[in-house]
Structure 1
Amino acid sequence: MTLTLPDGREVRPGKVLCIGRNYAAHVREMGDVAEPPAEPVVFLKPSTALVADGGEVVLPRQSDEVHHELELVAVVGRGGRHIREADALGHVAAYALGLDLTARDLQAQAKANKGPWSIAKGFDTFAPLGPLAAAESVGDPGTLEIALSVGGEERQRGTTGHMIHSVPRIVAFLSSVFTLEPGDLIYTGTPEGVGPVRDGDRLEATGTRLPALTVTARREAAV
């Protein structure tokens, strides 16, 4: 996928960086840890997981339980390493709505075996990304309301002000581990209300000062 940043630059996302357990209510609904994390929980998705607005999410034959997770996505416009939290928003060029699709049954197996989540999170089309909104037009990323409907029924609604780790904190933390580059995507975590996605479902995400994201789901045919 190629993205056009608000300044006209065309970039290909090199890294899809994702934050888990970043809303306390979601931590409680998952029930797999007792306390919210003191530091951001980080995992990665391959760029092949990306799918644009209007596209199709493929539910893989390896999983019987794919869940939606609505997220605010920050798009890196200016790279850097060891970025100070006070300077972090200056490195974000745009924001978008995104979905972190998760094969929950495969993730549960990985957790039980104390293994990584890469397969559960990384299938093709498991990171839908909406149209970009310039950071200047969005303003404070900690004041946004985001919502997701599936088949016309609202499933998720949250406020980014309820994030455990704010966008500036996340950017600063990630840059202490990875060199951030223009086009890198940061999925910032999901509020409560995650649930199953079925064959034929239409998923519609909306948010304050953010373009809508719509994708449909299709079950992968058996081989």
Structure 2
Amino acid sequence: MSNFANFREIGRKIVCVGRNYKDHALELGNPIPKKPMIFLKSTNSYVAEGNPIVIPPGCQNLHQEVELGVVIGKQAKNIKKDDWKDYVAGYTVALDMTARDFQDEAKKAGAPWFLSKSFDTSCPVANFIDKSKISDPHDLELYCLINGQEKQREKTNSMIFDIPTLISYVTQFATLEPGDLLLTGTPAGVCRVQSGDTIEFGLTGIIDSKFFVQ
């Protein structure tokens, strides 16, 4: 399989899973989904370490959501659960930055979430991790600290829908391409971040990343 270190440049889309950790759904007062809740972030939202997260104009309530990312390795359509590993190049960890006030306003109006999820710099990502370095992606620990204070920490085995289920479900409807990123949901602990904050996040013992909020 090719080198996917530059997945941000070769991927066509960022496929996201909402409410995939029970405690996160509950903390926002949302029902627990009975099937995967899928939405997109556009690739303009990518930002690499060393660059700042920029709060979008007018946003007063920006939240961080740390997530395990699955990098797709080859074209995937109608994939069976048992075959999911064949289509994975590796992993990363990312923040699904969310303009929560924009999202709440859109929900009330029955309007799309695009601006709340896909503003520039709304997807800070760590480096690529080849799948050979992670034996079981369902046995990892996500964490996120803001200004040194722990906000999120959860094992990935707490996901409502596991990675085989997500890949199988998504590829029934939409083909996943090499370099596409599948974000698998965030655990509880999201909160407001502000200009001047430092966000540290990663996978315990595997990868660490740090971003500054401008």
Deviation of the 1:208 alpha carbon: 3.6
Residues of 1 paired with 2:176 and 2:205: CA distance? 25
Q: Which of 72, 82, 90 is 2:78 aligned to? A: 82
Deviation of the 1:66 alpha carbon: 0.5
Gaps spanning 5+ residues in structure 1: where? 219-223
Q: Which of 93, 98, 105 is 1:102 aligned to? A: 98
Amino acid at match of 1:102: T
Q: What SS does the corresponding residue of 1:55 show, helix, strand or coil?
A: coil
Residues of 1 paired with 2:13 and 2:106: CA distance? 22
After superposition, residues 151-190 of structure 1 pair within 5 angstroms as 151-190=147-186
After superposition, residues 198-213 of structure 1 pair within 5 angstroms as 198-208=194-204, 210-213=206-209
TM-score by length of 2: 0.95
Amino acid at match of 1:201: D
Q: What SS does the corresponding residue of 2:209 show, helix, strand or coil?
A: strand
Residues of 1 paired with 2:96 and 2:111: CA distance? 19
Say what the alpha-carbon RMSD is for the aligned residues: 1.7
Q: Is the 8 A contact 1:15 1:44 kept in 2?
A: yes
Residues of 2 paired with 1:68 and 1:9: CA distance? 22
Q: Is the 8 A contact 1:55 1:214 kept in 2?
A: no
Percent identity (aligned): 36
1:174-194 per-position Cα deviation (integer Å, ceiling 9, x unaligned): 111111110000111000000
Distance 1:5 1:18, change over 3 A: same
Aligned to 2:146: 150
Aligned to 2:45: 49
1:46-97 per-position Cα deviation (integer Å, ceiling 9, x unaligned): 1000011222100012211100000000000121200001101221111111
Residues of 2 paired with 1:49 and 1:116: CA distance? 16
Q: Is the 8 A contact 2:195 2:213 kept in 1?
A: yes
Q: What SS does the corresponding residue of 1:42 show, helix, strand or coil?
A: strand
Distance 1:61 1:10, change over 3 A: closer
Aligned to 1:216: 212
Deviation of the 1:206 alpha carbon: 2.2
Residues of 2 paired with 1:205 and 1:76: CA distance? 22
Deviation of the 1:162 alpha carbon: 0.3
Residues of 2 paired with 1:148 and 1:123: CA distance? 21
Q: What SS does the corresponding residue of 1:148 show, helix, strand or coil?
A: strand
Distance 1:10 1:204, change over 3 A: closer
For these two proteins, the number of residue pairs brought into alignment is 213
Distance 1:48 1:58, change over 3 A: same
Q: What SS does the corresponding residue of 1:136 show, helix, strand or coil?
A: helix
Aligned to 1:117: 113
Aligned to 1:21: 19
Q: What SS does the corresponding residue of 2:117 show, helix, strand or coil?
A: helix
Deviation of the 1:10 alpha carbon: 9.1
Gaps spanning 5+ residues in structure 2: where? none
Tell me which moved more, 87-96 or 18-27: 87-96
